[in-house]
Amino acid sequence: GREPITIRTDKIPLRGPSGTFDRLVAVATDITDVVKAQAARARAEERLSLAVNGAQDAIWDWNIETGEAYFAPRWCELLRLDNGCQLTSMSDWRARIASTSLAAFETALHEHLEGRSETLEVELEMVAADGESRWMHCRARALRDETGLAIRLAGCVTDISE
Q: What is the pLDDT of residues 127-143, one digit of tens each?
A: 998 999 999 999 999 99
**Res 102 pLDDT > 90:** yes
Task: Return the pLDDT at 73.
Answer: 86
Burial of 116 (0-12, 13-18, 19+ CB in 10 A): exposed
Q: CA 101 to CA 88: how far, in whole Å?
A: 21
Task: Return the pLDDT at 48.
Answer: 76
**Better pLDDT: 112 or 85:** 112
Task: Return the pLDDT at 119.
Answer: 96
Q: pLDDT per residue over 28-80, tens digit each?
A: 999 999 999 898 898 988 887 777 777 778 899 999 999 999 988 888 888 88
Task: Return the pLDDT at 51.
Answer: 76
Q: pTM here?
A: 0.71
Q: Under a CB-based contact definition with an 8 Å cutoff, are residues 33 and 10 in contact?
A: no
Q: CA 108 to CA 112: how far, in whole Å?
A: 6
Q: CA 5 to CA 28: how far, in whole Å?
A: 12
81: amino acid identity, one letter: L
User: Mean pLDDT in the chain?
Assistant: 90
Q: CA 147 to CA 152: how far, in whole Å?
A: 14
Instruction: Please count the CA atoms within 13 angstroms of the CA of 47 that sit on its side-chain side.
Output: 6
Say which DSSP state 2 is in: P
**Better pLDDT: 98 or 73:** 98
